Every structure is written in structure tokens, then in C-alpha cells.
Amino acid sequence: MAENPFGGDRPDEEAPPEPRAAETLDPATLLSRSDNLRRRQLVSRFVTASQTASALLAVAVLCTVVYSVASRGASVLSLDFLTKNPPEIGHPGGGIAPALVGTGVLIAMATAIAAPMGILVALYLTEFAGRRSQPALRLAIDLLNGLPSIIVGLFVFGLLVVGHHQSGFAAAFALSIVILPLIARATQEVLLLVPSSLREAADALGVSHWRTVLGVVLPTASGGILTATILAVARAAGETAPLLLTSTIFAPGVSLNPFSHEGLSSIPFYIFTASEEADRFGFARAWGAAFVLLMFILLANIGGRAISRRSMVSR
Amino acid sequence: MSVGTRFAGPAASGARSRGRAADRIGDGVLRGLCLIASALAVLAIGAIVYQVAHGASPAISRFGLSFLTHSTWQPNFERFGAGVLLYGTAVTSFATLLLAVPIGVSIALYLSMVAPQRLRGVIGPLVEMLAAIPTVILGFWGILVFGPFLQAHVEPFLHSAFGFLPIFGGAQTTGTGLFNATLILTIMVVPIIASISRDLFLTVPQELKDGATALGATRWEVIRGVVIPSAASGVVAATFLALGRALGEAIAVTQVIGAGNAIHTSLFKTGDTLASRIADQFPSAITKLHIGSLFYLGLILLVIELVANIGAQFIGRRFDVGRGLAQ
């Protein structure tokens, strides 16, 4: 008799309802294998197998996507591809230089806005916020994090584009809103891991608060903050929706100026437009662009994780 | 500065007070900067709600709440209604959760209880890396690789095996549609559910699991009786966060859903969602009412998102689920 103590199994024929109390049974029967036990172990093994299968499925999907992109994109890759302008629709050859440069400018700007802001917000959360303001601010950051990037795009469109014009700055600003909560949240996690003994040592030496923060807390957490920033850069590099509303009209050539009267070209937007046009040369270039973007993002992820694992304070 | 000033004579007292003043200023400046940054982050939410509502005002004053129930969307005739899009959003999000929650929780259980320690360090990051793939690449892959595969193999099979269910209608000429969008969204949200749930399952005290095992529970019974109940509210919160992601994804869905304008029961036919309609039509929208209507879609989406996210924070308040999205 093996009445399951966890309510996991429905009682069936083998477990008659009368002898519920174990003391009415000979203890030896509890130790002998019953059909019910075999069934429970079978169920358990089946569930374990399906869990393993789920994990393998996820890894398989990752491999499939990466392989699809690599097998189609790697052959397109060449120096010309990285340094030339795209040709007109329907023509082969050409490259993605404007998109590559544009994405570089956009993520540099977005990070320049979001990283200091995010670190300051995280510092406020861990160093200054009171018992009441801390949960409120954390909720705000989490809400910001949960907002779809297309909504952020609408916001920036209404704020900076309506009545003015598209610009690389508007796009970078939108990207910075998308990654600000990522940096703030991850930095906060790292700051919480800074050993309190370090702070206490600084306090005991009479060091003022701001010097403790700048001289002890931030340097100790720098590895984790760097990781957070790298992951945020990777996220910003692939973000498309905000660009769709802020930076879709641009000159055909390479542009470095985010404040001109036009937007900046970008890799995600390039892939998006190519996917909407039935042009097989465009598809080929888009696969190449996707390969470049995906490699950048995967390497940034691997690198970021490696840094956080090596640094003293890791997530 | 104040270090070592204890032995300073009267001559050094000027320097000391200057040091103190500098410290006061430094403390104030740092505190002020942090406060400003935090205030801006909080204000941003209000500003976003305001801007989206403001942008939607032409459409709100024209259509009012009937916008939600009307299902015609004809920009040329200035007629807009969100009915089809609400349906498409609901179907894709619901179907996504139906697939993603069991798979995500299974992966989380595998990573927290089943996998050998060495494999956890490999498979965990790989699953998280799935979340790092840009949605535009996932969508591009969805059109050119995954869609044709679904259309040629999966959809005919599902139709022949489960064709009696109206959701599995006849295969279409292309692989784009609600089904493809659902699967792409599933790929996107499974890592979210998996990584948040794994962190929650790892916090379940080992003594509870050991106790259950000592009472003779199999691994599955430990999971069902101990692990899942003690982390259940966190898993529900993770599901809400995943729902938020699925509802709000614009790019990949636009690419694979086919921008349909009618309500179909078959998942293999085209449809559209709130977010994907914005991404699809915004760059080409010209009239004030068209842009306003797209903003109106954004406003509906924003309200749903805020509810889902606040719900997630409230349900999961025992756990810190918000950090899961930030990884």
C-alpha cells in the first residue's frame, strides 16, 4: 500500500480506502514494491524525460536559428559587404555600411544616455531611497522594463518627431529608454552584492558617503556594471520597433550625424525592410546583416557573462 | 579628507572645515543627481502615458469606445476599428502562453532539479541566449525558413490529425499567419518563464525537498507537492510578464502574421495584433486620423501592459520577479 502522502496520485484499486491509517498495516508491506509504486516511478520518469526534452528543444531551436542565419549569412560576408552602400532594389552586391555605422552611432549614444542614468538610479535605490520610496521606484523601473518597445517608439515620436523631424537622436533616445531599466535593475543587483564590511570599513575611517560610493562601492561593483552595460548594448543593437517610428527616412550613404534632419540607417531596420520586400538580393544582404548582428549580440552576451563571472562581485 | 585630521593643530583646522564643506557638497551633489535620475525614470512613465493618450486624441474623439468593437480597418475611407486586432492579440497571446508555460516551467524544473550541475551551467545560459536573439532576426527566419516548413509539413499534419477542431483548418499557400506568430512568440517568451521560474525553484529550501523524498515521494511528487506550490505565485507572475512580452511584440509578429483584416477561427490563416498593426502601418501612415488610430491601438496596448505588469508585481510580490526580465 502506497497511499501517496502528497496528494499526487488519485487513489485506485490497489489502494483500498479503508486502511488509511498506517498502523493497521504490517510494516513490511510498506517496504514491498507494489504496482502503484511502479506506476508512480514511471510517471516520475516520464515527467523527468519530458523536462529534459523541453530543455533540449529550446537548445535545438537556438541552434537551428543560429545555423539558419550563419549558413545563409556567412557566405555573403566580405569586406565589400561591410564597407559599401546598398544598391537599388533588385540589384545584387553592395553592402550594409550605412546601417552598420548607423547602428554603431545609435547604440553608442543610447548607452551614453542610459548607462549613467541607470547607474544613478541604481545608486539611489541602494544608497539613498527610504523604505517607502524604494518599492515605488523599483515598481516604476519594472513597469518601464515591461513596456513594449513599440510604445516607447510612439512616445518618442510624439515627443521629438511630431512637429520636428526624424533624427538619429530621437532613435537613440528611444533606445536609451528601452535599456535604462535593464542597466538600472542589473546594476542594483550588483550593488546589493557589495560586501557591507567594505562600506563599514570606509565609514570607520570617517570617509564621507559620496567618497565611499565613488571610491569603494562602484569600483567593487564595476565588473557587474560593465556586464550589465554590455548586455544592454546587445539589446539595443537588435531593437527594431522604436527605430520604425523615429528613424526610417535617411540618406543612402554613410552618415555619422545623429542631429541631421534625417534619421540614421540601422541594421535591424535594414533587415526589417528587406523582409517586407520580395527581392532575393535584398534577402541575401539581410541574411548577411542578420549574421553580423547576431554574432555581435551572441559574442557580447558571452563576453558579458565571462566578465561578470571573473569579477569579484558577480550576479 | 577627514582621515588623520585628529592630530591636526589649529593651523590645519581651516583645511579640515574646507574638507567637511567639500564632503557636504559632494554628498549633496551625488544624492541630488541620483534623485534627479530616479525622478526622471518615474516621470517617464507618466510622460509615456500622456504622449500616447495625446497622440490618440483625434481617434478617441472621433470613434470613442466603439473603436474597440468595430472590426473594419480601412485607412482610405478613414474607418478604423480594433476588433480584428484585439481578437488577433488575444488568440496569439493565449495560444503562446498555452505552449510556453508548460515548456518554460519544464525547462526551469530541468535546470533546477534534474540536470547535473555541469550541464546546468551550459544549458541555462543557452536558454537565456534564446531571449537575446533580436526579434527582427527571429521574424525574418520565421518568414523565410520556419514559415515554409510549417506550411509544408506541420500544418497539413495538424489538419489531417486534428482537423475536426476548427482552429486547425486547411493549410494555406504561405506559412504566415496566427500559428506562425504564436510559435515565434513562444520562442521569445519561453526563456523568460524558464529563467524566472528556475530562480524561484532554486529558492525552495532543500530541507522541504529532502523531507518529501524521505517520506517516499518520487521526484515528480516532490515537484508537484513541494516545489511548485511554494513557488506558484512567482510562476504566475512570470507568466504575466511573459504575457506582457507576447502582447507587446510588434516586429516579429508583423513579419510572420500576414497582416490580415478579418477574424478567422483557423490558426493557419492571417491576422494581426495591436502592436504589429502599429509597426506595419505607422511608417506609411499620413492622415491625422490614421496616425491617431494607431496611437489609439498603442493606448489600448499600454493599458493592458500596465495591468499585466502591475498584476505580475502584485502577485509575485513575495519574490523579486522583476529582475528576471532584466537579465
- B22 Cβ neighbours under 8 A, 6+ residues apart: B1
Average pLDDT over residues B204-212: 90
Q: Answer whether A8 sits within 8 Å of B224, measured CB to CB.
A: yes
Is the pTM higher than 0.90? The answer reads no
HEC string of chain A equals CCCCCCCCCCCCCCCCCCCCCHHHCCHHHHHCCCHHHHHHHHHHHHHHHHHHHHHHHHHHHHHHHHHHHHHHHCCCCCHHHHHCCCCCCCCCCCCCHHHHHHHHHHHHHHHHHHHHHHHHHHHHHHHHCCCCHHHHHHHHHHHHHHCCHHHHHHHHHHHHHCCCCCCHHHHHHHHHHHHHHHHHHHHHHHHHHCCHHHHHHHHHCCCCHHHHHHHHHHHHHHHHHHHHHHHHHHHHHHCCHHHHHHCCCCCCCCCCCCCCCCCCCCHHHHHHHHHHCCCHHHHHHHHHHHHHHHHHHHHHHHHHHHHHHHCCCCC
Q: Answer whether B250 sits within 8 Å of A275, measured CB to CB.
A: no
Write down the pLDDT at residue A26.
Answer: 64
Instruction: Please say whether the dihedral angle defined by the alpha carbons of residues B136, B142, B145 and B146, taken in this order, is positive or negative.
Output: positive
Nearest to A235 by CA among B244, B279, B124, B327: B327
Q: How confident is the model at residue B1 (pLDDT cuts 50, 70, 90)?
A: very low
Write down the pLDDT at residue B27.
Answer: 82
Q: Answer whether B322 sits within 8 Å of A128, measured CB to CB.
A: no
Contacts of B42 in chain A (CB under 8 A): 136-137, 140
CB contact burial B253-275 (16+ within 10 A = b; e otherwise) = bbbbbbbbeeebebbbbbbbbbb
Question: Dihedral (C-alpha) A144, A148, A151, A152: value to the nearest 10 degrees?
Answer: 50
Nearest to A241 by CA among B44, B254, B187: B254
Identify residue A140 by its one-letter amino acid code: A
Q: First CA to last CA across chain A, in angstroms?
A: 47
Distances (CA, A) of A292 to A15, A82, A99, B85: 62, 9, 11, 34
DSSP symbol at B326:
T
Are B70 and B87 in contact by the 8 Å Cβ rule? The answer is no
CB-nearest to A61 from B135, B187, B283 is B187
Give the number of C-alpha atoms closer than 13 A to the C-alpha of residue A36, restricted to the C-beta side: 19
Q: Answer whether B52 sits within 8 Å of A154, measured CB to CB.
A: yes
ipTM: 0.85
Q: Answer whether A47 sits within 8 Å of B140, measured CB to CB.
A: no
What's the CATH fold of domain B69-325?
MetI-like fold (1.10.3720)
Write down the pLDDT at residue B9.
Answer: 45
Distance from CA of B99 to the nearest CA of A (A): 11
Average per-residue pLDDT for chain B: 84
For B19, the closest chain A residue by CA position comes to: A208
Question: A20-36: per-residue pLDDT in tens?
Answer: 554 555 666 655 666 78
Q: Answer whether A44 sits within 8 Å of B221, measured CB to CB.
A: yes
Q: Answer whether A147 sits within 8 Å of B248, measured CB to CB.
A: yes
Distance from CA of B162 to the nearest CA of A (A): 22
Q: Answer whether A117 sits within 8 Å of B136, measured CB to CB.
A: no
Give residues 70 to 109 of A whose Cβ lies within 8 Å of B: none
What is the spatial distance between Cα A224 and Cα A218, in angstroms, rounded to a whole number?
10
Question: A222-254: per-residue pLDDT in tens?
Answer: 888 999 999 999 999 988 888 888 877 776 766
- Helices A97-123 and A168-193, axial angle in degrees (round to 10): 40
Question: B188-204: per-residue pLDDT in tens?
Answer: 999 999 999 999 999 88
DSSP symbol at B218:
-
Give the number of C-alpha atoms closer than 13 A to the C-alpha of residue A261, restricted to the C-beta side: 2
Q: Where are the domains of chain B?
A: 5-61, 69-325
Q: How confident is the model at residue B243 (pLDDT cuts 50, 70, 90)?
A: very high
Say yes or no: B326 contacts chain A, CB-CB below 8 A.
yes
Question: B120-160: per-residue pLDDT in tens?
Answer: 888 988 998 998 899 999 999 998 888 888 888 888 788 88
Contacts of B326 in chain A (CB under 8 A): 145, 181-182, 185-186, 189
CB-nearest to A51 from B110, B137, B250 is B110
Write down the pLDDT at residue A108.
Answer: 92
- A70 Cβ neighbours under 8 A, 6+ residues apart: A291, A294
Average per-residue pLDDT for chain A: 81
Q: What are phi and psi of B134, to 5 degrees?
A: -60, 140
HEC string of B94-112 equals HHHHHHHHHHHHHHHHHHH
User: With pLDDT > 70 as the criterion, what percentage of chain B qualifies?
Assistant: 91
